[in-house]
Structure 1
Amino acid sequence: MSSSYHVQTVLNGTINSLKSVLPFELNVQPPSLMAQPFEQDEIGVLIGMIGDIKGRIIINSTEKVFGSIGQSMFGMAIEGEMLESFTGELGNMIAGNLCTIVESSDMKLDITPPTVMVGKTKFYGFTHAFKLPVQIDQAGTMNILLTIDEE
């Protein structure tokens, strides 16, 4: 199978995973190619992908957006270290669900444990990247970055 097939499968799987995990109406914008570096302003989570495709998923937003998601899912305000922990777990839920979804397309995909990134950060070291902006109803905007490594 081609690399473009794998990229399309992961992008579609990511959208389906977001719709399954997040308890909100989502408005997913079309993906766009992105050049390095990726710049984060506030908080995000990085999860490595290995298998038929190698790369990373970065889920990036603000503390307010992650806090709104956490409040909706757990019924209480989440702040500080709890918010950082929740951000990592949310990334794990989205990426884990993605693995299950792409498996139905006969694609092998596994993930690494989440790495939470807090503060202003620049991310280099990827060959190709696709940015998937997601507007989350009553919460704000989240950007999903899918980086692809050359084989």
Structure 2
Amino acid sequence: MKVQYINPFLESASTVIQQFCNVSVTQGEVVQRELTFHVDHTWIRIGMTGQFEGDVIFGLHNEVALKIVSAMMGGFPVSEMDEMGKSAISELGNMISGNASTLLYNQGMTIDITPPEIVQNYEMFSSKGSEALSVPLNLSEMGRMEIQVIVAK
């Protein structure tokens, strides 16, 4: 699997999170491994179609997701992931993926993205067991986000 598929998502995630959360973002090592899900995490799935097809999955520990939602809402304290929080965290995934698709387009690759989906029952996720490019992003004191990209074709 080509690293060129994940780099625009990493670049976009760093920019968007720095803007909304006012934290520095550092990238961990890119690894190829089986798609993994962790308990106590919020998962945002965005499908990709076009010159390549697959999914990008953003994983955040629930506490980190709440911190990001709080930052997106101007610092208003958020203690649970209600419908407004789910909408905000979905929009984060949408902004990252939309910017990434523009970066890919500028590299000569055309993709479309699907609306974000909060994946709560990852046991039912259709790409479970697939190979993914996976990278952790360290969000300073907020915690960590994991980005996994699966390219089906």
Shorter-chain TM-score bucket reads 0.7 to 0.9
Partners of 2:83 and 2:33 in 1: CA distance = 31
Aligned to 1:105: 107
Structure 1 residue 66: Cα displacement: 1.5
Partners of 1:15 and 1:39 in 2: CA distance = 19
Partners of 2:149 and 2:49 in 1: CA distance = 13
Aligned to 1:121: 122
Partners of 2:84 and 2:11 in 1: CA distance = 26
Matched length: 143
**TM-score, normalization by structure 1:** 0.85
Aligned AA (1:39) = F
Aligned to 1:50: 49
Contact 2:28 2:137 survives alignment (8 Å): yes
Aligned to 2:135: 132
Partners of 2:55 and 2:77 in 1: CA distance = 29
Structure 1 residue 15: Cα displacement: 1.3
Structure 1 residue 52: Cα displacement: 1.3
Structure 1 residue 109: Cα displacement: 1.2
Partners of 1:73 and 1:87 in 2: CA distance = 9
Measured against aligned partners, the alpha-carbon deviations of 1:40-71 in whole angstroms (never above 9, x if no partner) come to: 32211100011111110000112211121222
Partners of 1:82 and 1:89 in 2: CA distance = 11
Aligned to 2:94: 92
Q: Give the 3-state SS of the residue equivalent to 1:65 in structure 2.
A: helix
Counterpart check, 1:31 vs 2:33: no
Contact 2:26 2:138 survives alignment (8 Å): yes
Contact 2:3 2:133 survives alignment (8 Å): no
Counterpart check, 1:9 vs 2:4: yes
Identical counterparts, % of pairs: 27
Contact 1:88 1:115 survives alignment (8 Å): yes
Measured against aligned partners, the alpha-carbon deviations of 1:114-141 in whole angstroms (never above 9, x if no partner) come to: 11023x6334536431111111012101
